[in-house]
Structure 1
Amino acid sequence: MLVVFFISLAVLGAGLLVPGLDDLLLLGVPCVIASLLILLTRLSSSGSSLIFKKRWIILDGSNIMHWKGNGADIATVQDAIQKLSEQGYTPGVVFDANVGYKLRNRYQGEAELAKLLDLPVARVMVVSKGTPADQVILAAARDHNAQVVTNDRFRDWSHQHPEVKDEGHLVRGGYRAGRLWLDLPPAKQQ
């Protein structure tokens, strides 16, 4: 796509600079705009950016929603997402299969939870029944070079995911005097 963009720029440049080729502007301008839009769309959907690289962070949604101690509460996950987003992170959330039953006494999938959390559906996952969410959370964190927000220590998974022992990989949190706190270390270089 980058090649198409540069060819479009060349056509536009020829139309601007070469006498008698003014008609190339009719072709060059729309081609430059279209190729630039396609290029930017592809870069943003692949997670790349010309300006900055996303700082992913994975939230253990089923763990976080119990941080207030009064049963499952989606507001705790919303609070964590807001705080992390304000600090420049791009949060993704993974839930156990039973999350909907804990919240609303019925199944809830990614689309419903994404709407509640005001996140794109692609950044919310409900694991399949019988699938351990821990494994999915740790794999997503590894794939995105991300930290994990949870109070779980993942001791059962430390052999497969030794990074859980690294300082700052697991971000603890909770509520003190009704306010969310997160034990976020300085940002990791990605």
Structure 2
Amino acid sequence: MDVLASLTPLQILTPVVLALAAFGYVRCLATALWQTLLGTAALAAILSLSYPFIAANAWGWGGAAVLVLGAVALSRLGRPPAPVAPPSETVAASDRMDIVIDGTNVLYWDGEVAELASLRLVVSALLKRKYAPVVFLDASSRHHLKDKSLTEKDFAKALGLPQNRVMVCPAGTEADAFLLKYARENNMPVVSNDQFRDRAQIAGKLRLVRGIFAKGKPIFESL
């Protein structure tokens, strides 16, 4: 307390402002990587007019480069994997066979820990069979994957699907209600290992496609 009392307001606020600036910079890198890096390069060019790239300033510029690289690494933590492009054999919209995927359930098909890779492999396998998936996810899927920043756009890119074929349901709701209603109204099968006991009346009228992973590949029952 004595130490804090001896500090001036400027001395207290400076580390707080720097911490907030660092957090904001990492967030900018996470949402707009290349634009932020271009802005960083432009700022470096302006600063180089006063602090040129010479041996005397090497430590300063080197330290700045390390900080930027560290911020880039932090911004990439927990981001979804690179998008997987839909296979070339995907058929035209008029010929495709639509199918609903219980995305939150499929995240756990290949183990006890949620993996976006599992859902991505299931989507890819269905595309190869000339199905056109519509993926429903609980809002809690972000927590399962330990990345609260994931959006529908992020999921769609990671799965190689158009954004309008991925739905992250609102917080406080369950994807089950949305996906079962959608599947019933459009007469579509549902890929899920969930038995939907609390909605048996609706689920009982639908074709449920169950699956497992064997040697890293999804295998579907009755599909």
TM over 0.5: yes
**Root-mean-square deviation (Å):** 1.8
What residue ranges of structure 1 are gaps of 5+ in the alignment?
1-46, 186-190
**In structure 2, distance between residues paired with 1:78 and 1:48:** 21
> What is the match of residue 49 of structure 2?
none
> What is the match of residue 125 of structure 2?
83
CA deviation string 1:82-125 (max 9, x = no partner): 11111111001000111112213314221111011111000000
In structure 2, the CA distance between the partners of 1:182 and 1:146, relative to structure 1 (3 Å rule), is: same
Contact 1:56 1:145 (C-alpha < 8 Å) held by counterparts: no
**In structure 2, distance between residues paired with 1:162 and 1:87:** 25
What residue ranges of structure 2 are gaps of 5+ in the alignment?
1-91
Sequence identity (%): 35
State the TM-score, normalized to the length of structure 2: 0.55
Greater helix share, 1 or 2? 2
Is 2:112 the counterpart of 1:112? no
Contact 2:108 2:114 (C-alpha < 8 Å) held by counterparts: yes
Contact 1:92 1:124 (C-alpha < 8 Å) held by counterparts: yes
Is 2:108 the counterpart of 1:66? yes
**In structure 1, distance between residues paired with 2:189 and 2:140:** 24
* DSSP-derived class of the 2:201 partner: coil
Q: 1:146 aligns with which of 188, 191, 194?
A: 188
Q: 1:94 aligns with which of 136, 146, 150?
A: 136
Shift of 1:48: 6.6
Q: 2:220 aligns with which of 172, 182, 188?
A: 182
Is 2:175 the counterpart of 1:133? yes
Shift of 1:130: 1.2
Shift of 1:135: 0.7
Q: Larger Rg: 1 or 2?
A: 2
**In structure 2, distance between residues paired with 1:141 and 1:172:** 15
> What is the match of residue 172 of structure 1?
210
Matched residue type, 1:183: E
Structure 1 runs (4+) greater than 3 angstroms displaced: none
State the TM-score, normalized to the length of structure 1: 0.64
Shift of 1:161: 4.3
**In structure 2, distance between residues paired with 1:141 and 1:65:** 20
**In structure 2, distance between residues paired with 1:174 and 1:161:** 20
* DSSP-derived class of the 1:163 partner: coil
**How many residues align structurally?**
132
> What is the match of residue 30 of structure 1?
none
Matched residue type, 1:147: P
Contact 2:121 2:217 (C-alpha < 8 Å) held by counterparts: no
* DSSP-derived class of the 2:145 partner: helix
